């Protein structure tokens, strides 16, 4: 039920609903120079072309001719020098690959005007995808496209910083023999972290447990810093149910997830558990989401004098309206816990209100 009110923080295929989606490519195309062997037109796609083809397909460009145009556009500007694509050697030009936004490009972003700035944008994005592939060893068994879909900031992050992260992972004490490239594929957030790796307080096993949650480390110093961030989050939002609001810090969300998993496995240190309890941390993630929306309803009631948000009500959030409908359905279905019903009754919740989900 809780999933009915989840926001989609990053939609990687939003452009698929664009009016231009699926249309044939325009007949006018910019004049293209002779393509390099990497991007030459062939009946079968291989190598770099294959990677870029999969990337644009993941972006919703389902028409093969349209994808071929995008591969053509990738050669509009001179190929970067080997130094520009080598780990730590990214040029200023490549650092401007996709601007300052982590929004992934899609067909609705530029289709119909593949010249000028749009064509340069496509070319730069294409080179960044290839640079990421080379950074991780150029192996075909590493799915760069899947990594970018989960972490769009890979397209804008500094390659030298990501290289440093790989080195930290490879040289961490007690972690010899770990395939850090495969680790980065599973948890690309490790390449984006602004934190240093271990603070020297963790064992190899503890460090690897942090890596399994996309965190470089979770030693005492890093843990205390995250708790301060959680307290600041609570001051800003009125609760510490991080992970259930748009824009929540991704690393803080991953850290909270690790604390919940450690608690469930009985591996969370008692002092950490007590400090989290003290700030109102909820170890049940589903209940944390429910409380986040309950607090939203409580704030709405404080302002409006009632807790029946409807579409015409000033400031009513349609997700909050749907959440209220989910509560009515849960009660009618006999699956609502009694403590939640009691909490809503205290607010004067209208159990007979309009139900847009019925």
Domain ranges in the chain are 2-157, 162-278, 285-347
Is pLDDT at 197 greater than 60 in this prediction? no
Confidence of residue 123 (pLDDT cuts 50, 70, 90): confident
Average pLDDT over residues 67-71: 86
Average pLDDT over residues 192-212: 76
pLDDT in tens, 83-105: 443 434 443 333 443 433 344 45
Is pLDDT at 255 greater than 70 in this prediction? yes
Predicted pLDDT at 89:
41
pLDDT in tens, 213-240: 999 888 888 899 999 999 999 999 999 9
Mean pLDDT of the chain: 77
Predicted pLDDT at 81:
45
Average pLDDT over residues 102-116: 47
Predicted pLDDT at 316:
62
Please choose, from the candidates 201, 259, 207, the residue with its C-alpha nearest in 3D space to the C-alpha of residue 230.
Answer: 259
Could you tell me which residue, 25 or 331, shows the higher pLDDT? 331
Predicted pLDDT at 140:
85
Confidence of residue 270 (pLDDT cuts 50, 70, 90): very high
Average pLDDT over residues 17-29: 33
Confidence of residue 46 (pLDDT cuts 50, 70, 90): low
Confidence of residue 269 (pLDDT cuts 50, 70, 90): very high
Average pLDDT over residues 300-315: 79
pTM: 0.69
Is pLDDT at 161 greater than 80 in this prediction? yes
Highest-confidence range of 73-77, 107-111, 179-183, by mean pLDDT?
Answer: 179-183
Predicted pLDDT at 171:
86
Is pLDDT at 348 greater than 70 in this prediction? yes
Is pLDDT at 198 greater than 90 in this prediction? no
Highest-confidence range of 7-16, 23-32, 189-198, by mean pLDDT?
Answer: 189-198
Could you tell me which residue, 115 or 243, shows the higher pLDDT? 243
Average pLDDT over residues 346-357: 81
Average pLDDT over residues 233-256: 94
Orientation angle between helical segments 116-135 and 64-73, nearest 10 degrees = 90
As a three-state string, the secondary structure of the chain is CHHHHCCCCCCCCHHHHCCCCCCCCCCCCCCCCCCCHHHCCCCCCCHHHHHHHHHHHHCCCCCHHHHHHHHHHCCCCCCCCHHHHCCCCCCHHHHCEEEECCCCCCHHHHCCCCCHHHHHHHHHHHHHHHHHHHHCCCCCCCCHHHHHHHCHHHHCCCHHHHHHHHHHHHHCCCCCCCCHHHHHHHCHHHHCCCCCCCCCCCCHHHHHHHHCCCCCCCCHHHHHHHHHHHHHHHHHHCCCCCCCCCCCCHHHHHHHHHHHHHHHCCCCCHHHHHHHHHCCCCCCHHHHHHHHHHHHHHHHHHHHCCCCCCCCCCCCCHHHHHHHHHHHHHHHCCCCCHHHHHHHHHHCCCCCCCCCCC
Predicted pLDDT at 38:
33
Question: Please, which residues have CB within 8 angstroms of residue 224's CB and are 6 or more apart in sequence?
Answer: none
Is pLDDT at 9 greater than 50 in this prediction? no
Is pLDDT at 326 greater than 50 in this prediction? yes
Predicted pLDDT at 181:
92
Least confident among 70-74, 112-116, 124-128: 112-116
């Amino acid at each position: 039920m809780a999933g009915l009110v989840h926001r989609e923080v990053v939609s990687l295929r939003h452009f698929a609903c664009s009016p231009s989606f699926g249309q044939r490519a325009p007949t006018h195309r910019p004049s293209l120079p002779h393509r390099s062997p990497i991007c030459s037109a062939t009946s079968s796609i291989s190598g770099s072309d294959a990677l870029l083809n999969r990337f644009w397909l993941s972006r919703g460009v389902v028409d093969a001719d349209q994808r071929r145009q995008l591969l053509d556009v990738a050669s509009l500007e001179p190929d970067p020098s080997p130094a520009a694509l080598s780990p730590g050697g990214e040029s200023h030009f490549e650092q401007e690959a996709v601007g300052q936004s982590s929004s992934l490009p899609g067909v609705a972003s530029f289709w119909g005007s593949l010249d000028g700035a749009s064509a340069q944008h496509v070319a730069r994005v294409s080179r960044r995808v290839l640079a990421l592939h080379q950074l991780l060893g150029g192996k075909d068994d590493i799915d760069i496209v899947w990594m970018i879909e989960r972490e769009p900031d890979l397209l804008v992050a500094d390659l030298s910083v990501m290289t440093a992260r790989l080195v930290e992972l490879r040289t961490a004490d007690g972690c010899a023999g770990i395939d850090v490239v495969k680790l980065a594929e599973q948890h690309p957030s490790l390449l984006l972290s602004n934190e240093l790796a271990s603070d020297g307080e963790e064992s190899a096993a503890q460090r690897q447990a942090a890596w399994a949650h996309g965190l470089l480390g979770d030693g005492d110093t890093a843990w205390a810093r995250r708790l301060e961030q959680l307290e600041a989050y609570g001051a800003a939002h009125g609760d510490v149910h991080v992970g259930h609001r748009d824009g929540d810090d991704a690393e803080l969300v991953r850290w909270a997830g690790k604390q919940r998993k450690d608690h469930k496995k009985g591996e969370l240190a008692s002092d950490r558990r007590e400090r989290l309890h003290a700030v109102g941390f909820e170890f049940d993630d589903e209940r944390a989401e429910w409380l986040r929306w309950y607090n939203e309803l409580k704030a709405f009631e404080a302002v409006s004098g009632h807790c029946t948000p409807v579409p015409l009500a000033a400031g009513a959030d349609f997700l909050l309206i749907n959440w209220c409908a989910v509560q009515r359905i849960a009660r009618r279905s006999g699956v609502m816990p009694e403590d939640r019903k009691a909490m809503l009754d205290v607010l004067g919740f209208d159990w007979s209100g309009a139900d847009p989900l019925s």
